[in-house]
Homo-oligomer: A and B are copies of this chain.
Amino acid sequence: MQSTQVRLASRPVGEPRDSDFDVVTVTLPDLEEGQVLLRTLYLSLDPYMRGRMSAAPSYAPPVELGHVMVGATVCEVVDSRSPDRAVGDVVLAYTGWQTSAVADARGTRRLDPDAAPVSTALGVLGMPGFTAYAGLLEIGRPKPGETVVVAAATGPVGSAVGQVARIRGARAVGIAGGPRKCRALLEELGFDAAVDHRSPSFRDDLAAATPAGVDVYFENVGGPVADAVAGRLNRFARIPVCGLVAGYNATSAPEGPDRLPGFMGRVLRLSLTVRGFIQDEFVPTHHADFLRDMTGWVRDGSVRYREDVVDGLEQAPEAFRGMLAGRNFGKLLVRVAT
Protein backbone atom coordinates (compact mmCIF):
# COMPACT_ATOMS: atom_id res chain seq x y z
CA MET A 1 0.00 0.00 0.00
CA GLN A 2 1.32 3.40 -0.96
CA SER A 3 0.81 6.71 0.82
CA THR A 4 1.27 10.22 -0.44
CA GLN A 5 2.68 12.35 2.36
CA VAL A 6 3.17 16.05 2.95
CA ARG A 7 6.37 16.46 4.91
CA LEU A 8 7.94 19.47 6.57
CA ALA A 9 10.89 20.44 4.35
CA SER A 10 12.03 23.58 6.13
CA ARG A 11 10.93 25.73 9.04
CA PRO A 12 8.87 28.63 7.68
CA VAL A 13 9.92 32.21 8.26
CA GLY A 14 6.65 34.10 8.43
CA GLU A 15 3.87 32.69 6.28
CA PRO A 16 4.56 29.06 5.27
CA ARG A 17 5.52 28.74 1.59
CA ASP A 18 5.12 25.80 -0.76
CA SER A 19 8.85 25.21 -0.54
CA ASP A 20 8.47 24.56 3.19
CA PHE A 21 6.63 21.35 2.29
CA ASP A 22 7.73 18.25 0.39
CA VAL A 23 5.23 15.89 -1.21
CA VAL A 24 6.47 12.31 -1.49
CA THR A 25 4.95 8.91 -2.11
CA VAL A 26 6.14 5.99 -0.03
CA THR A 27 5.28 2.33 0.33
CA LEU A 28 3.89 1.58 3.77
CA PRO A 29 5.29 -1.33 5.80
CA ASP A 30 3.31 -4.51 6.44
CA LEU A 31 1.03 -4.51 9.47
CA GLU A 32 2.30 -5.83 12.77
CA GLU A 33 0.10 -7.32 15.47
CA GLY A 34 -2.24 -4.66 16.93
CA GLN A 35 -1.92 -2.35 13.94
CA VAL A 36 -4.43 -1.15 11.37
CA LEU A 37 -4.03 0.13 7.84
CA LEU A 38 -5.93 3.40 7.43
CA ARG A 39 -7.15 5.32 4.41
CA THR A 40 -7.57 9.01 5.20
CA LEU A 41 -11.03 10.42 4.55
CA TYR A 42 -10.64 13.84 6.19
CA LEU A 43 -7.62 15.75 7.46
CA SER A 44 -8.22 18.52 9.98
CA LEU A 45 -6.28 21.77 9.52
CA ASP A 46 -5.88 23.74 12.73
CA PRO A 47 -3.95 26.86 13.76
CA TYR A 48 -1.82 25.00 16.35
CA MET A 49 -0.01 23.31 13.44
CA ARG A 50 1.83 26.56 12.72
CA GLY A 51 3.48 26.24 16.14
CA ARG A 52 4.59 22.68 15.41
CA MET A 53 6.39 23.90 12.28
CA SER A 54 8.68 26.11 14.37
CA ALA A 55 11.58 25.00 16.50
CA ALA A 56 10.66 27.47 19.26
CA PRO A 57 9.73 25.83 22.57
CA SER A 58 6.02 25.23 22.90
CA TYR A 59 3.63 22.93 24.69
CA ALA A 60 4.38 20.12 22.25
CA PRO A 61 7.58 19.21 20.44
CA PRO A 62 7.97 20.52 16.86
CA VAL A 63 7.54 18.35 13.79
CA GLU A 64 11.03 17.23 12.79
CA LEU A 65 12.31 18.24 9.39
CA GLY A 66 11.60 15.52 6.84
CA HIS A 67 8.72 14.13 8.90
CA VAL A 68 5.06 14.00 7.97
CA MET A 69 3.07 17.03 9.12
CA VAL A 70 0.97 16.10 12.15
CA GLY A 71 -2.80 16.36 12.31
CA ALA A 72 -6.02 14.69 13.35
CA THR A 73 -7.77 12.60 10.70
CA VAL A 74 -10.91 10.61 10.10
CA CYS A 75 -9.95 7.34 8.40
CA GLU A 76 -11.44 4.14 7.14
CA VAL A 77 -9.88 0.87 8.28
CA VAL A 78 -8.81 -1.03 5.15
CA ASP A 79 -6.86 -3.80 6.88
CA SER A 80 -6.59 -4.82 10.49
CA ARG A 81 -4.43 -6.98 12.74
CA SER A 82 -6.35 -5.84 15.81
CA PRO A 83 -9.35 -7.65 17.26
CA ASP A 84 -10.82 -4.26 18.18
CA ARG A 85 -10.99 -2.79 14.68
CA ALA A 86 -12.70 -4.31 11.63
CA VAL A 87 -12.23 -3.48 7.98
CA GLY A 88 -14.77 -0.78 7.15
CA ASP A 89 -14.70 0.84 10.58
CA VAL A 90 -14.39 4.61 10.51
CA VAL A 91 -12.05 5.96 13.17
CA LEU A 92 -10.61 9.16 14.56
CA ALA A 93 -6.82 8.99 14.30
CA TYR A 94 -3.81 11.24 14.40
CA THR A 95 -2.04 10.20 11.23
CA GLY A 96 -1.31 13.64 9.77
CA TRP A 97 -1.02 14.96 6.25
CA GLN A 98 -1.04 11.71 4.26
CA THR A 99 -3.41 9.60 2.20
CA SER A 100 -2.81 6.33 4.07
CA ALA A 101 -1.05 5.24 7.20
CA VAL A 102 -0.23 2.32 9.45
CA ALA A 103 -1.28 3.03 13.02
CA ASP A 104 -1.59 1.35 16.38
CA ALA A 105 -5.28 0.45 16.78
CA ARG A 106 -5.22 1.69 20.37
CA GLY A 107 -4.41 5.19 19.11
CA THR A 108 -7.70 5.35 17.24
CA ARG A 109 -11.28 5.88 18.37
CA ARG A 110 -14.16 4.25 16.52
CA LEU A 111 -16.82 6.66 15.25
CA ASP A 112 -20.52 5.97 14.86
CA PRO A 113 -21.55 7.29 11.42
CA ASP A 114 -25.20 7.13 12.48
CA ALA A 115 -24.71 9.41 15.47
CA ALA A 116 -23.31 12.35 13.48
CA PRO A 117 -21.44 12.94 10.22
CA VAL A 118 -17.96 11.52 10.80
CA SER A 119 -16.27 14.82 9.87
CA THR A 120 -17.70 16.37 13.03
CA ALA A 121 -15.18 14.32 15.03
CA LEU A 122 -12.62 16.87 13.80
CA GLY A 123 -14.76 19.90 14.57
CA VAL A 124 -17.75 20.50 16.73
CA LEU A 125 -17.52 17.04 18.34
CA GLY A 126 -13.73 16.99 18.28
CA MET A 127 -10.81 18.96 19.59
CA PRO A 128 -12.07 22.40 18.53
CA GLY A 129 -15.50 21.83 20.06
CA PHE A 130 -13.93 20.50 23.24
CA THR A 131 -11.57 23.50 23.43
CA ALA A 132 -14.61 25.77 23.29
CA TYR A 133 -16.62 23.74 25.80
CA ALA A 134 -13.93 23.27 28.43
CA GLY A 135 -12.40 26.73 28.13
CA LEU A 136 -15.73 28.51 28.22
CA LEU A 137 -17.34 26.52 31.01
CA GLU A 138 -14.33 25.88 33.22
CA ILE A 139 -12.41 29.16 32.81
CA GLY A 140 -14.93 31.59 31.33
CA ARG A 141 -17.78 30.45 33.59
CA PRO A 142 -20.43 32.68 31.99
CA LYS A 143 -23.40 33.52 34.17
CA PRO A 144 -26.88 34.15 32.78
CA GLY A 145 -27.13 37.67 31.42
CA GLU A 146 -23.38 38.16 31.11
CA THR A 147 -21.77 39.07 27.79
CA VAL A 148 -19.37 36.64 26.10
CA VAL A 149 -17.23 37.83 23.18
CA VAL A 150 -15.31 35.54 20.85
CA ALA A 151 -13.35 36.28 17.68
CA ALA A 152 -12.87 34.04 14.66
CA ALA A 153 -16.48 33.38 15.54
CA THR A 154 -17.44 31.40 12.43
CA GLY A 155 -14.50 29.06 13.08
CA PRO A 156 -15.00 25.75 14.84
CA VAL A 157 -13.93 27.00 18.27
CA GLY A 158 -15.60 30.40 18.09
CA SER A 159 -18.92 29.16 16.77
CA ALA A 160 -19.16 26.59 19.60
CA VAL A 161 -18.16 29.19 22.22
CA GLY A 162 -20.97 31.50 21.20
CA GLN A 163 -23.62 28.84 21.00
CA VAL A 164 -22.69 27.20 24.31
CA ALA A 165 -22.64 30.65 25.93
CA ARG A 166 -26.20 31.18 24.75
CA ILE A 167 -27.26 27.77 26.08
CA ARG A 168 -25.94 28.96 29.44
CA GLY A 169 -28.04 32.11 29.24
CA ALA A 170 -25.30 34.55 28.30
CA ARG A 171 -25.32 37.10 25.48
CA ALA A 172 -23.02 35.94 22.64
CA VAL A 173 -21.18 38.52 20.55
CA GLY A 174 -19.13 37.21 17.64
CA ILE A 175 -16.33 38.98 15.82
CA ALA A 176 -15.56 37.90 12.26
CA GLY A 177 -14.02 39.27 9.09
CA GLY A 178 -16.43 40.58 6.48
CA PRO A 179 -20.21 40.93 6.12
CA ARG A 180 -20.74 37.38 4.84
CA LYS A 181 -19.32 35.83 8.00
CA CYS A 182 -21.17 38.32 10.20
CA ARG A 183 -24.44 37.42 8.51
CA ALA A 184 -23.76 33.72 9.15
CA LEU A 185 -23.22 34.47 12.85
CA LEU A 186 -26.67 35.99 13.14
CA GLU A 187 -28.62 33.85 10.69
CA GLU A 188 -27.00 30.41 10.97
CA LEU A 189 -25.28 30.31 14.31
CA GLY A 190 -27.70 32.28 16.47
CA PHE A 191 -25.31 34.84 17.94
CA ASP A 192 -26.94 37.86 19.57
CA ALA A 193 -24.66 40.28 17.75
CA ALA A 194 -21.93 40.16 15.12
CA VAL A 195 -19.14 42.67 14.61
CA ASP A 196 -16.95 42.93 11.51
CA HIS A 197 -13.34 43.55 12.51
CA ARG A 198 -12.51 44.71 8.98
CA SER A 199 -14.96 47.58 9.15
CA PRO A 200 -13.51 51.07 9.74
CA SER A 201 -16.11 51.50 12.48
CA PHE A 202 -15.07 48.27 14.25
CA ARG A 203 -14.39 49.81 17.66
CA ASP A 204 -17.64 51.75 17.69
CA ASP A 205 -19.56 48.71 16.44
CA LEU A 206 -18.04 46.58 19.19
CA ALA A 207 -19.04 49.14 21.81
CA ALA A 208 -22.58 49.20 20.43
CA ALA A 209 -22.73 45.39 20.52
CA THR A 210 -21.55 45.24 24.15
CA PRO A 211 -23.61 47.92 25.90
CA ALA A 212 -23.06 46.26 29.30
CA GLY A 213 -19.34 45.62 28.70
CA VAL A 214 -17.68 42.23 28.35
CA ASP A 215 -17.56 39.58 31.08
CA VAL A 216 -15.86 36.78 29.16
CA TYR A 217 -13.49 37.26 26.25
CA PHE A 218 -12.57 33.92 24.76
CA GLU A 219 -9.16 34.70 23.26
CA ASN A 220 -8.14 32.79 20.16
CA VAL A 221 -6.72 35.50 17.92
CA GLY A 222 -4.80 38.23 19.78
CA GLY A 223 -3.69 41.27 17.81
CA PRO A 224 -5.80 44.39 17.19
CA VAL A 225 -9.08 42.55 17.81
CA ALA A 226 -7.97 41.64 21.33
CA ASP A 227 -6.89 45.24 21.90
CA ALA A 228 -10.32 46.53 21.03
CA VAL A 229 -12.08 44.02 23.29
CA ALA A 230 -9.74 44.90 26.17
CA GLY A 231 -11.25 48.36 26.27
CA ARG A 232 -14.71 46.86 26.88
CA LEU A 233 -13.86 44.47 29.74
CA ASN A 234 -15.79 44.63 32.98
CA ARG A 235 -14.36 44.18 36.45
CA PHE A 236 -13.76 40.48 37.19
CA ALA A 237 -13.84 39.57 33.49
CA ARG A 238 -12.36 36.19 32.54
CA ILE A 239 -10.14 35.62 29.52
CA PRO A 240 -9.53 31.97 28.56
CA VAL A 241 -6.60 32.03 26.12
CA CYS A 242 -6.55 29.11 23.72
CA GLY A 243 -4.84 30.66 20.71
CA LEU A 244 -3.26 33.78 19.27
CA VAL A 245 -3.48 33.12 15.58
CA ALA A 246 -2.91 36.78 14.60
CA GLY A 247 0.71 36.43 15.66
CA TYR A 248 1.53 32.91 14.53
CA ASN A 249 3.43 34.07 11.45
CA ALA A 250 5.25 36.88 13.29
CA THR A 251 9.01 36.82 12.77
CA SER A 252 10.07 39.29 15.44
CA ALA A 253 8.67 41.17 18.41
CA PRO A 254 6.38 43.88 17.01
CA GLU A 255 7.51 47.47 17.22
CA GLY A 256 6.57 49.60 20.18
CA PRO A 257 5.14 51.17 22.09
CA ASP A 258 5.33 48.37 24.64
CA ARG A 259 1.73 47.51 25.48
CA LEU A 260 2.55 45.04 28.25
CA PRO A 261 2.57 47.56 31.13
CA GLY A 262 -0.80 48.89 30.01
CA PHE A 263 -2.21 45.38 29.78
CA MET A 264 -0.98 44.43 33.23
CA GLY A 265 -2.36 47.69 34.61
CA ARG A 266 -5.75 46.70 33.26
CA VAL A 267 -5.41 43.20 34.79
CA LEU A 268 -4.82 44.90 38.13
CA ARG A 269 -7.43 47.66 37.95
CA LEU A 270 -10.18 45.37 36.68
CA SER A 271 -9.25 42.25 38.69
CA LEU A 272 -9.08 40.27 35.46
CA THR A 273 -8.43 36.55 35.20
CA VAL A 274 -6.26 35.63 32.21
CA ARG A 275 -5.78 31.88 31.85
CA GLY A 276 -3.97 30.06 29.09
CA PHE A 277 -4.96 26.49 28.41
CA ILE A 278 -4.49 23.53 26.11
CA GLN A 279 -7.55 21.36 25.94
CA ASP A 280 -5.64 18.19 27.00
CA GLU A 281 -5.64 19.48 30.55
CA PHE A 282 -9.42 19.10 30.78
CA VAL A 283 -9.82 15.73 29.02
CA PRO A 284 -9.84 13.64 32.22
CA THR A 285 -12.37 15.84 33.95
CA HIS A 286 -14.62 17.16 31.15
CA HIS A 287 -14.45 15.02 28.00
CA ALA A 288 -17.22 12.59 28.84
CA ASP A 289 -19.56 15.46 29.73
CA PHE A 290 -18.57 17.21 26.51
CA LEU A 291 -19.40 14.25 24.29
CA ARG A 292 -22.74 13.77 25.99
CA ASP A 293 -23.72 17.47 26.01
CA MET A 294 -22.39 18.47 22.62
CA THR A 295 -23.72 15.41 20.79
CA GLY A 296 -27.12 16.18 22.27
CA TRP A 297 -26.94 19.85 21.30
CA VAL A 298 -25.89 19.04 17.74
CA ARG A 299 -28.71 16.52 17.41
CA ASP A 300 -31.41 18.81 18.74
CA GLY A 301 -30.11 21.73 16.69
CA SER A 302 -29.16 23.98 19.58
CA VAL A 303 -25.54 23.90 18.36
CA ARG A 304 -24.95 24.26 14.63
CA TYR A 305 -21.65 24.05 12.83
CA ARG A 306 -20.11 25.09 9.57
CA GLU A 307 -17.50 23.17 7.57
CA ASP A 308 -15.18 24.51 4.89
CA VAL A 309 -14.09 21.48 2.89
CA VAL A 310 -11.19 21.53 0.44
CA ASP A 311 -10.70 18.59 -1.91
CA GLY A 312 -7.38 16.82 -2.27
CA LEU A 313 -4.35 16.55 -0.01
CA GLU A 314 -2.31 18.65 -2.45
CA GLN A 315 -4.50 21.62 -1.50
CA ALA A 316 -3.53 21.40 2.18
CA PRO A 317 -0.62 23.93 2.20
CA GLU A 318 -2.62 26.65 0.45
CA ALA A 319 -5.70 26.00 2.59
CA PHE A 320 -3.55 26.13 5.72
CA ARG A 321 -2.09 29.52 4.71
CA GLY A 322 -5.60 30.78 4.06
CA MET A 323 -6.76 29.70 7.50
CA LEU A 324 -3.95 31.62 9.21
CA ALA A 325 -5.11 34.68 7.26
CA GLY A 326 -8.78 34.12 8.16
CA ARG A 327 -9.90 33.07 4.66
CA ASN A 328 -11.64 29.85 5.77
CA PHE A 329 -15.34 29.99 6.57
CA GLY A 330 -16.07 27.33 9.16
CA LYS A 331 -14.09 24.29 10.27
CA LEU A 332 -11.37 23.74 7.65
CA LEU A 333 -11.14 20.14 6.46
CA VAL A 334 -9.28 18.50 3.60
CA ARG A 335 -11.31 15.74 1.96
CA VAL A 336 -8.48 13.34 1.14
CA ALA A 337 -10.62 10.47 -0.18
CA THR A 338 -14.29 9.66 -0.42
Interface residues of A (CB under 8 A from B): 57-59, 219, 222, 226, 235, 241-244, 247, 250, 252-278, 281
Q: Assuming A57-B269, A268-B276, A276-B268, is B258 touching A258 (CB within 8 A)?
A: yes
Q: Which residues of B have CB within 8 Å of A247?
A: 261, 265
**Inter-chain contacts of A270 with B (CB < 8 A):** 59, 276
The one of B250, B253, B257 that contacts A254, using a Cβ cutoff of 8 Å: B257
Per assembly, the copies of the chain total 2
Besides the known contacts A226-B264, A243-B268, A253-B256, 6 further A-B residue pairs in the complex with CB atoms under 8 A apart: A58-B269, A253-B261, A258-B258, A258-B260, A268-B276, A274-B274
Q: Tell me whether A263 and B263 are in contact (CB under 8 A).
A: yes
Is B269 within 8 A of A277, CB to CB?
Answer: no
B253 touches A268 (CB 8 A): no
Min CB gap A80→B, angstroms:
37
Smallest CB separation, A32 vs chain B (Å): 35
> When A272-B276, A274-B275, A275-B273 are in contact, do A244 and B258 touch as well, CB less than 8 Å?
no
Cα of A57 to Cα of B233 in the assembled complex, Å: 13
Give the shortest distance, in Å, between A231 (CB) and chain B (any CB): 11
Whether A275 lies near B272 (C-beta < 8 A) is yes
Q: A255-B256, A256-B253, A265-B244 are in contact. Are A273 and B271 (CB under 8 A)?
A: no
Q: Which residues of B contact A269 (CB under 8 A)?
A: 57-59, 276
